[in-house]
Chain A
Amino acid sequence: MSASTARGVVVIAAVAALAGIGPFAIGGVHAGADQPGPGEQLLDDARRAAQEHDFSGIVEVTWADAAGSHISDVAVQSADGVLALGDRPQVIVEGSRRFVHAPDGWQTVWGQDVQADVPAASAKWKLTVRDGPEVAGRATREIDAADRGDGRVRERLYVDVSTGLLLRREQLDRRGRTVRAVGFTSIGEPAGTFLGEAPANVPRVPQRSTSRQPHVLEDVSAPYRAPGTAGDRFRLVGRYDESGNTLHLFYSDGLFSVSVFEQQGELDWSGLPSGGEPRTVAGRDARQYRTSGGVVTVFQAGDVVYTTVSDAPIDQVDTVLDDFNPSGSPGIVQRVTDFVAGPFSW
């Protein structure tokens, strides 16, 4: 590199830094965090580290529902920027692309970059960083995300000191009990790498796949609703048209997210999966499932069936549900209509 070229690079870098391009370029998908704190920075780094380091390991998923506690192990492997999850595997990740293995072959379920409009987690949560316990034999930095209002810790995240990988995350209820956790129980080099050549079972992007990607929507018309914010500072960051006439709204508060799926029609309660718990959401009947991925809630409001899926604590999800049920309990006209037309609906 010549001296003039080096000087040019320095000047461009300085201008970029002054213009704020630098933080945007390295700041992942988060927006609004001009000076990310150490917790924010660790989270951003962890989101990229999974595809930047080669490793293999076992991830344990723990959750509880009305039937009790459940544990399931999932094999994970990453090599050359391709991440694979599951034994076959079932899921492949490369950059922003996501592939899922279905009974009839691979499907591309995501293939687009997302805009940097996810709010900064620190805007809502107080992120505290300290030395954490060993996880899967690795030293960690622990990030505690606490409610800025009452100080309660609702999520603990453990980041590998050496690689920046997120090794474990635990979700706590308002009483401080762990209600869901995902974390490595073992992690090491990819199998076969000690031979000095690429292992035969390194994850690869499927050569053939069927597209099942949702389409980005510019706007939403009635009877569907898409408020720009919902619940406790969840911001709408994506609107998608899923297959089957389903609207998908994606909300995030920077740490947790809530998907709201809207389908026009009348909810067929008898067709819902078993294992759900009856709940009341703003005066309306709802069915709720506590799953390995979080909380799923199904209910009807007006002419729309809502299904929400979220990795957030239940009390956080409830604040979002309230915003999709503005009328509260059904009015007298709705009740009379349901009573009269009920026997004739088919």
Chain B
Amino acid sequence: MSVRPAPDDRLSAYLDGELDAAERQAVDGYLEASPDWRAELEEVAYARDALRRLPTHEAPPGFWEEVLAPDMAKARARRRSRLPRVIGIATAAVAVAAAVIVSVAIPSPDRVTPRVPALSDSHAVRNSVSDDPISQLATMSVVSPNRP
């Protein structure tokens, strides 16, 4: 059992004589066996003839330039305005990348929080060895909220 496809674009090519021998033979077979193919062929032929019978007119001088000029100008303007923006974005991207690379490649220094009370005590202890121990070390026993 053979399967007959629905009418398709081959009909237009058939009318224009653009099919090869095998395709033309196949379309001839469909047209002979199928009323749908024959009806479709008539419609395609009618549409082609109708279009070819329409009168042709030349566009007035400058028409196309006038129609296309704004778009062309906008396109050129867009290209021009896009260029600095692209350069700016690229520059910013490079700067950010460089900063990130620098901050990663160069180790960030450790954060230091001096333990002020402990350092004060270290000073008092060392000082008490060279100086009067009572007046130097008494300050270590001071209880005061103001002692850092």
Contact = CB atoms under 8 A, between A and B. Distances in A.
A114 B139 contact: no
Interface in B107-133: 108-117, 119-133
Nearest to B148: A273
Given A46-B132, A166-B134, A169-B135, A289 B116 contact: yes
Contacts of A156: none
Nearest to A87: B141
Query: Interface on chain B toward A: helix, strand, loop, or mixed SS?
Result: helix
Contacts of B131: 47, 257
B50 to A, nearest CB: 71
Contacts of B140: 85-86, 90-91, 100, 293
A96 B133 CA distance: 10
Interface in A246-263: 246, 248, 250, 252, 257, 259, 261, 263
Contacts of B130: 29, 47, 114, 118, 237, 252, 257
A95 to B, nearest CB: 10
Contacts of B103: 341, 344-345
Interface string A63-107: 001010010101010000001011101110100101010000000
Given A248-B122, A259-B123, A293-B123, A303 B139 contact: no
B120 A303 contact: no
A135 interface: no
B138 A59 contact: yes
Contact of A292 (B110, B128, B147): B147
A298 B116 contact: yes
A51 interface: yes
B116 A272 contact: yes
Contacts of B116: 272-273, 289, 296, 298, 307
A85 B137 contact: yes
Contact of A266 (B99, B109, B134): B109
A273 to B, nearest CB: 4
Given A59-B138, A166-B135, A259-B126, A70 B144 contact: yes
User: In the complex, which range does the number of interface residues on chain A fall in?
Assistant: 35 or more
B75 interface: no
A309 B120 CA distance: 6
Contact of B129 (A90, A96, A261, A307): A96
A319 interface: no
B100 interface: yes
Nearest to B117: A273
B126 A238 contact: yes
B146 interface: yes
Contacts of A214: 122, 126
A72 B144 contact: yes
A340 B36 CA distance: 77
B125 A98 contact: yes
A221 B63 CA distance: 83
Contact of B112 (A118, A267, A291, A296): A267
Interface of A: 29, 43, 46-47, 50-51, 59, 61, 65, 67, 70, 72, 74, 76, 83, 85-87, 89-91, 93, 96, 98, 100, 109-110, 114, 118, 165-166, 169, 182-183, 214, 237-238, 240, 242, 244, 246, 248, 250, 252, 257, 259, 261, 263-268, 271-276, 289, 291-294, 296, 298, 303, 305, 307, 309-311, 340-341, 344-346
12 contacts: A61-B138, A86-B140, A93-B128, A165-B134, A166-B134, A238-B126, A242-B122, A248-B126, A259-B123, A264-B112, A273-B116, A298-B114
Given A268-B112, A291-B120, 18 more contacts: A50-B133, A59-B134, A61-B142, A72-B144, A83-B134, A91-B141, A93-B137, A100-B125, A109-B121, A182-B138, A240-B126, A250-B126, A257-B127, A257-B130, A264-B112, A265-B109, A267-B111, A291-B146
